[in-house]
Amino acid sequence: MFKYSYLLALLQITSLHFFAQDSSMIRKIYDEALLRGRAYEDLRSLCKDIGPRLSGSSEAEMAVRWSESKMKAYGFDTVYLQPIMVPHWERGNPETAWLSTPTTTPYKLNIKALGGSISTNGILEGEVIMFDHLDDLKKSTRSVVEGKIVFLNQPMNAAEIQTFKAYGACYPIRGNGAVEAAKLGAKAVIIRSLALPLDDHPHTGSMRYEDSIPKIPAAALSTLDCEYLARALQADSKAMITLEMDCRVFPDAPSFNVIAEIKGRKQPKEIITFGGHLDSWDQGEGAHDDGAGVIHCMEALRILKTLEYQPVHTLRVVFFMNEENGNMGGKTYAKWVKEQGEKHIAALESDRGGFTPRGFGCDGNPKVFERFSSYKNLFDSYDLHVWEKGGGGVDIGPLKNEFKDITLFGFIPDSQRYFDVHHAASDVFENVNKRELELGAAAVTSLIYLLDKDLFR
């Protein structure tokens, strides 16, 4: 009995010692991020000196060189580029569209082509038919739809507290709308922007075609104009839209993932990857999606180096290219590291914007998740309260196919404002709050520290 009590007391003392040690390190991390951080200035430079960074564009190439130069300036152990091939789609000349009805004057619409859409090959005109839900379109018939422009006016569900759930439920109108409309003979499809606020900003994003189905032009309409169009269709029996889009598809282009490392002192061949995607859509500046994410992760490596932390495992930051319209960065990286014979034990992604941090998700086995959940006590004073099952991201997802036992983590900030700017011209540096961005960088750094020192020791 005495021996058992002694061991229990020893374990409690040891646990308290490590808790105090970790708590002290996390405080240092937050102090560095908030008092001497580089995140805000680095994001400003990425957004303002380069701007939007669609895969295959000259701006994307500039961003690669900017990232490589910045990482080298921070003195990380290794900085290198991983060659990949990426899709190359361009919007071309600005889109134009207007609405006309028998009882109103022409009304100009705020519209943007969806990523990957074909052009209209000049001016396209057609009668509009509205559906409130994609399922309603699927239930319709060719005799009703053929030769018309389909308008999918399906809104994101504002009752969802977690806005990513609302986005996920509504995504099919963007991803599959053109295919479903073309099956019934439509000449084009226009979708309600995947956004919660009512404003004039159309939100672009990727869509797809099927080789067996005719390709038709696809575009997103601002939510305010969707409201106007819906009212016009209710007031008049017939409404026409005139649309012109100059989209172009080019052969795949060479590009790169940008990679930086600090080598592990005990397990250098075991890798913890963390990153986000360097590319963005061609609207706005890609500030939240995903400039904030890549800056979170580069800042994490910088902070750990500045604090002279010696990692157990190799810590690797990856700026992935082409998440938005193909994910060739993530897919190529996963296959490449497997072929190199590397051992990947964990990966974390930040791709939900630079808003106030709320916590993390963990896609790991029960033992890993239990340990991960225990970190919550360390972060009570930092207002991180979300420690949930499930995590990862588009870029790091392919690693799960190559390393079955890898644990994936996702950074979770507050989601309420993300879809105000997602894939829109409003996703600019001015809409990123400095303190929120720095708090996010500190949270990501702290979890990487704990994963390396404790969770996978």
- Catalytic residues, by residue number, are 323
Tell how far CA 88 is from the center of its chain: 19
Spatial distance between the Cα atoms of 110 and 445, rounded to a whole number of angstroms:
40
Give the strand order in the sheet containing 124-131: 104-108, 96-101, 240-244, 124-131, 149-152, 188-192, 218-221, 111-113
8 Å CB contact between 410 and 389: no
The kind and range of the H/E element at 258 are: strand 248-262
Spatial distance between the Cα atoms of 60 and 81, rounded to a whole number of angstroms:
14
Number of neighbours of residue 343 by Cβ within 10 angstroms: 15
Spatial distance between the Cα atoms of 156 and 191, rounded to a whole number of angstroms:
12
**Distance linking the first and last C-alpha atoms of the chain:** 31
Reduced to 3 states, what is the DSSP secondary structure of residue 125? strand
Closest alpha carbon to 221 in 251, 243, 200, 196:
200
Residue with tokens 């011209």, as numbered in its chain: 425
The kind and range of the H/E element at 420 are: helix 418-421
Spatial distance between the Cα atoms of 247 and 217, rounded to a whole number of angstroms:
9
8 Å CB contact between 137 and 162: no
Which burial class, exposed, middle or buried, applies to 207 when counting CB atoms under 10 A from its CB (0-12, 13-18, 19+)?
Answer: buried
